[in-house]
């Protein structure tokens, strides 16, 4: 009967569409940024604290200089259907938090005022591209000034991270963001010219 054929057709359509619906991913268009590194500091190499162990470092203001500030990633497992990742959160504040946390884990002291060196910066790259793996890239322009405001050093710190994980998951993006920022922090502390500036400004140099 016609009604039976129509009912069968509707049922078949629903069954065929069920797998796609079951695997549909909720768009990550308002993802909260969470500091959640998974890497060990040792994975980035050593930091020489000779002459700077007693130095006090202050994290000043950080700006976001990216062209599109809410866009932080994309899933390109299917280039015909790119799924975007965006956040309403303050990326510059997240990067500052990550730098401060990493610097503290290394063993340097961070204070809120009256520091030997004040470090400010601007985020120029903060992005994760997901294909078969998650690949993160962070670039931060950093400026170091003395307690009196004298320019001591400026330069770019880059960080990157790669990891496997379940497809298009906020926790995986956050882990790669965090590890990439950690990598940038370690690259900064391993920079010989920056380290020399810290030694010149530390209490031991006075």
Q: What is the pLDDT of residues 67-102, one digit of tens each?
A: 999 999 999 999 899 999 999 999 999 999 999 999
Instruction: Establish if 69 belongs to a structural domain.
Output: yes
Instruction: Establish if 5 belongs to a structural domain.
Output: no
Instruction: Establish if 18 belongs to a structural domain.
Output: no
CA separation for the pair 8, 182 (Å, rounded): 57
pLDDT (tens digit per residue) in 112-167: 999 999 999 999 999 999 999 999 999 999 999 999 999 999 999 999 999 999 99
Does 15 have pLDDT greater than 80? Answer: no
Instruction: Establish if 196 belongs to a structural domain.
Output: yes
Q: How many domains does the chain have?
A: 1
Residue 12 binned pLDDT confidence (cut-offs 50, 70, 90): very low
Contact of 146 with 57, CB cutoff 8 Å? no
Q: What is the CATH number of the domain that holds 48?
A: 3.40.50
Range(s) of the domain holding residue 65: 28-205
**What is the torsional sign of CA 104, 109, 111, 114?**
negative
Instruction: Establish if 17 belongs to a structural domain.
Output: no
% of residues, the chain, pLDDT over 90? 83
Instruction: Establish if 1 belongs to a structural domain.
Output: no
The confidence score (pLDDT) of residue 18 equals 40
| Helices vs strands, H then E, count in the chain | 4, 7
Does 60 have pLDDT greater than 50? Answer: yes
**What is the torsional sign of CA 52, 54, 55, 61?**
positive
Instruction: Establish if 8 belongs to a structural domain.
Output: no
Rounded to two decimals, the pTM is 0.86
CA count, 13 A, side-chain hemisphere, 63: 7
Instruction: Establish if 52 belongs to a structural domain.
Output: yes
């Amino acid at each position: 009967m016609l009604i039976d054929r129509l009912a069968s057709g509707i049922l078949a359509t629903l069954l065929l569409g069920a797998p796609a619906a079951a695997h549909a991913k909720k768009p990550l268009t308002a993802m909260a940024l969470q500091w959640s590194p998974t890497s060990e500091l040792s994975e980035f190499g050593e930091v020489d604290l000779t002459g700077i162990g007693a130095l006090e470092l202050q994290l000043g203001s950080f700006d976001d200089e990216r062209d599109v500030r809410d866009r932080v990633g994309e899933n390109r497992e299917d280039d015909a259907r790119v799924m975007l990742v965006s956040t309403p959160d303050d990326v510059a504040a997240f990067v500052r938090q990550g730098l401060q946390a990493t610097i503290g884990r290394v063993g340097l002291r961070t204070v809120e005022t009256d520091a030997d060196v004040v470090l400010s910066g601007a985020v120029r790259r903060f992005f994760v591209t997901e294909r078969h793996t998650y690949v993160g890239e962070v670039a931060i322009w950093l400026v170091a000034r003395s307690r009196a405001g004298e320019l001591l050093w400026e330069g770019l710190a880059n960080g990157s991270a790669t990891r496997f994980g379940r497809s298009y998951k906020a926790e995986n993006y956050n882990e790669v963001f965090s590890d990439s920022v950690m990598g940038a922090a370690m690259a900064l502390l391993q920079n010989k010219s920056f380290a020399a500036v810290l030694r010149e400004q530390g209490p031991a140099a006075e």
